[in-house]
Structure 1
Amino acid sequence: MSFAWAKPYEPKTGLGRWFDERLPLPRLVYGAIGGGYPVPRNLNYWWNFGVAAGIFLTVQIVTGIVLAMHYYASADGAFNSIEHIMRDVNAGWWLRYAHMNGASFFFIVVYVHIFRGLFYGSYKAPRELVWMLGLVIYLLMMATAFMGYVLPWGQMSYWGAQVITGFFSAFPVVGEPIRVWLLGGYAPDQAALTRFFSLHYLLPFVIAAVTVLHIWALHIPGSNNPTGVDVKTEKDTLPFHPFYTAKDGWFAGALLFAYCVLTFFAPNYLGHPDNYIPANPLATPAHIVPEWYFWPFYAILRSFTVDVIIPAKLWGVTAMFGSILLLFFLPWLDKSPVRSGSYRPVFKRFFGLLILDVLVLGYVGGAPITPLNIALGQLATAYYFAHFLIILPLVSKFETPLPLPSSISESVLHGEKAEAAPIGQTKPAN
């Protein structure tokens, strides 16, 4: 798309022109996130969480690199090296807490980013690949977070590794060899800690690379917007800079302020006290739970308690992985021609139930195992899969959407006539 206000990049100095002729990196950045990138003018604050995710990825990489300089990946010394970082390294306590709570904030903003995409139909054509690359980033985040949770080598770290890797043993024939291969032995020990540390260090850079692909794929069709209507005229858009850089900037500042409040005043609030006890293979914690951002999936895993044709453990592991994998098929499960949930009254109600269902799963995943919690988790798990496999296809087939605005500018300017020339390359609105 080309617009009158989207001026081409022009270096201001002789050095800039020399550099641009040989390596046009500033030109690339200008076209990607500067004044040369047109963005729908009606993006609301839910769109700020994508940039926030990039900020917290940067925080994790920077703090992780510094922490790795002081960490000792040894079954005998890992726990003591964490104590050394906390007590003896200059600002080590801050680095460790910033990294630990940064992971939680990273998941918070990504979860909001995912649910925003679910509500506004950002998985629909022509953005299917953008959505799938985002899910790949999420899966890499989960793997990175799990391996990072093992590194302190406390009680919850050790037994978390024991339980999570034990999932693979549920698969017949190949499961146990995969588990032994992951751990480097039959139980978490030195080999497991070494390979988890190396992968935990490597995967954030893989996430960064996939993020670049995610942004690249987004720039081809352009950003979705709250109406779900395609860009038609120049009046429908604004340059990313300075309008959205300013909007993203102050929002990121507010979010970082909340992050700093948690890091400085309640740094252990989202952690588990058992992880401040050194790992002991002979003492099992009374209540083994993963980090809070895995609780919904842990609840799905625990919801299968009866062997039906195949063992209950295999059902649970399959459902846990399937709960994420089915999101890859959303572009084909939801066939509604309308993208935005704002114009889908029935979908909006079921979307609210989905949010409530995920919150219930999160509660059950972190709660002790009781008959009531198991029954609650089973009901919530059944609804989760029913929402995507049954309810969403039926709603998209039978729902009557509300009338859509004829253009983005009409929805923003309350019916004022858009005078700019139409853009021939864009598709008609859904």
Structure 2
Amino acid sequence: MSAPSNNKVVKWVDDRLPIFTMMKHSAIDYPTPKNLNYWWNFGSLAGLMLVIMILTGLFLAMNYVPHTSMAFDSVERIMRDVNYGWLLRYLHANGASMFFILVYIHIFRGLYYGSYKAPREVLWWLGLVIYLLMMATGFLGYVLPWGQMSFWGATVITNLFSAFPLVGEHIVTWLWGGFSVDNPTLNRFFPLHFVLPFVILGVVVVHVWALHSVKSNNPLGIDMKTPQDSIPFHPYYTIKDLFGIGLFLMFYLAFVFWAPNFFGEPDNYIPANPMVTPPHIVPEWYYLPFYAILRSVPDKLGGVLLMFGAILILFVLPWLDTSKVRSCKFRPIYKWFTILFLVNAFVLGYIGAQPAEGTMLLVGQICTVWYFLHLLVLTPVIGWLEKPKPLPESISSPVVKKSGEAV
């Protein structure tokens, strides 16, 4: 590959370490399907959000004290005394919700357009690993302010591991660093919360590497067959991504400046008190669908296994889906079941925020059954029985056909 510039300094460096050539190949000349829509913006937006979270977290860590007697006060000091500390904290706290919103949209786009199918199974797995790491990081970060919901959320979630026979109690004791959630727990959670985003960043790099190896999927779900099917990533998709970033920042900063506590729990502005239990303990909103699944089973171990199984089952989705067609655009039946699956996830999220009793518990159980029924039964059966619409010959052919009809 030729050097990306005639600049002598760039050429000198590139001859010894071809970093500029690699960047040109991966971020400028990279052939991308010409028909990507705005649903493909959310991957790059999630990458931007990860960088914002790491940077704001780094500056917050400089002023945070991981000790039970000082953690809550150190957060209040960040808000009141540290220059622009309030901005850093609100960017970070709301950034967690923004990050999950972007990733959830990114995942659903993959489900709708079949981006998990061959040859992108490893790419899909890496995305799910990133999601699991995000969930762990988000939970650890939620504990750090050491408010009421932080303390009791940590107590409830870590206690779930005690459901596992033989090793459960040992895992809980190790997580706590003792026999209750206390200072050793906070001393464990803080460094883990600091380090895991860098682990996520490493997996993201491998995720992008895998993406560049198998190439991007597209709304038609067919492979690029001719040079006319692709365009260089720059300037076409860099401009498109910049437009998406502008819109996203308006949405994100609206919460930061005008509704900074919209996603938070009021109880977390009360210092942690082991002697007073909040009337209704709930995790952050992005865990609520799985919290609803956990509570839908009367047995503790069964609920924990079902909750983890709800995520782990997605690792085998490429083989559960028996259809030869990737995109739901050409699957008239499965398309509506996929949309219904999304609605079911929203309902589970709502149920997770409500007390587990009466009608809400029953609805949660029905939605839990539907979640697994969709993945384990409907997905393979519809793939066998459904007759898809005919696929275009190439990515370019629908555009060429429409152009010909217009003429």
Report if TM-score (shorter chain) is over 0.5: yes
> SS at 1:172's partner residue?
coil
One-letter amino acid of the counterpart of residue 103, structure 2: V
C-alpha contact (below 8 Å) 1:40/1:408 kept by paired residues: yes
In structure 1, the residue matched to 2:27 is: 33
One-letter amino acid of the counterpart of residue 213, structure 1: V
> SS at 1:414's partner residue?
helix
User: How many angstroms apart in 2 are the aligned matches of 1:360 and 1:140?
Assistant: 24
C-alpha contact (below 8 Å) 2:3/2:11 kept by paired residues: no
Residue among 191, 194, 198 paired with 1:198: 191
Q: How far is 1:8 from its partner?
A: 5.0
C-alpha contact (below 8 Å) 2:3/2:14 kept by paired residues: no
In structure 2, the residue matched to 1:331 is: 318
Unpaired segments ≥5 residues, structure 1? 1-6, 306-311, 418-430
C-alpha contact (below 8 Å) 1:11/1:20 kept by paired residues: no
> SS at 2:214's partner residue?
coil
In the TM superposition, 1:181-330 aligns within 5 A as: 181-305=174-298, 312-330=299-317
In structure 1, the residue matched to 2:170 is: 177
User: How many angstroms apart in 2 are the aligned matches of 1:292 and 1:119?
Assistant: 23
> How many residues are paired up?
404
In structure 1, the residue matched to 2:371 is: 384
Q: How far is 1:183 from its partner?
A: 1.4
Residue among 88, 106, 115 paired with 2:81: 88
Deviating 4+ runs (over 6 angstroms) = none
Q: How far is 1:135 from its partner?
A: 0.2
Q: How far is 1:258 from its partner?
A: 0.7
C-alpha contact (below 8 Å) 2:140/2:189 kept by paired residues: yes
User: How many angstroms apart in 2 are the aligned matches of 1:94 and 1:368?
Assistant: 33
In structure 1, the residue matched to 2:116 is: 123
Residue among 128, 132, 143 paired with 1:139: 132
In the TM superposition, 1:59-70 aligns within 5 A as: 59-70=52-63
In structure 2, the residue matched to 1:405 is: 392
> SS at 1:345's partner residue?
coil
User: How many angstroms apart in 1 are the aligned matches of 2:2 and 2:324?
Assistant: 35
In structure 1, the residue matched to 2:7 is: 13
Q: Deviations over 1:197-246 (max 9, x none)?
A: 00000000000000000000011110000001110111101100000000
Structure with greater proportional helix content: 2
> SS at 1:223's partner residue?
coil
Q: Deviations over 1:50-90 (max 9, x none)?
A: 00000100010000000000000001100000000000000
Residue among 351, 354, 357 paired with 2:338: 351
| Percent pairwise identity | 56
One-letter amino acid of the counterpart of residue 399, structure 1: E
Q: Using a 3 Å threshold, how does the CA distance of structure 1 residues 8 and 239 change in structure 2: closer, same or farther?
A: farther
Q: How far is 1:414 from its partner?
A: 2.8
Q: How far is 1:31 from its partner?
A: 1.2
C-alpha contact (below 8 Å) 1:410/1:416 kept by paired residues: no
Q: How far is 1:411 from its partner?
A: 2.1
> SS at 1:329's partner residue?
helix
C-alpha contact (below 8 Å) 1:37/1:240 kept by paired residues: yes
- Stretch deviating more after TM superposition (403-412 or 319-328): 403-412
Q: How far is 1:415 from its partner?
A: 5.6
> SS at 1:74's partner residue?
coil
In the TM superposition, 1:361-380 aligns within 5 A as: 361-380=348-367
Q: Deviations over 1:167-196 (max 9, x none)?
A: 100111111101111111111111110110
One-letter amino acid of the counterpart of residue 394, structure 1: V
User: How many angstroms apart in 2 are the aligned matches of 1:89 and 1:413?
Assistant: 59
Q: How far is 1:101 from its partner?
A: 0.2
User: How many angstroms apart in 2 are the aligned matches of 1:237 and 1:413?
Assistant: 14
RMSD of aligned Cα (Å): 1.1
User: How many angstroms apart in 1 are the aligned matches of 2:6 and 2:197?
Assistant: 35
Unpaired segments ≥5 residues, structure 2? none
One-letter amino acid of the counterpart of residue 55, structure 2: V
In structure 2, the residue matched to 1:420 is: none
One-letter amino acid of the counterpart of residue 385, structure 1: F
User: How many angstroms apart in 2 are the aligned matches of 1:33 and 1:100?
Assistant: 30
Matching of residue 52 in structure 1 with residue 45 in structure 2: yes
C-alpha contact (below 8 Å) 1:295/1:362 kept by paired residues: yes
TM-score (norm 1): 0.93
> SS at 1:220's partner residue?
helix
Q: How far is 1:416 from its partner?
A: 6.1
Residue among 329, 334, 339 paired with 1:342: 329
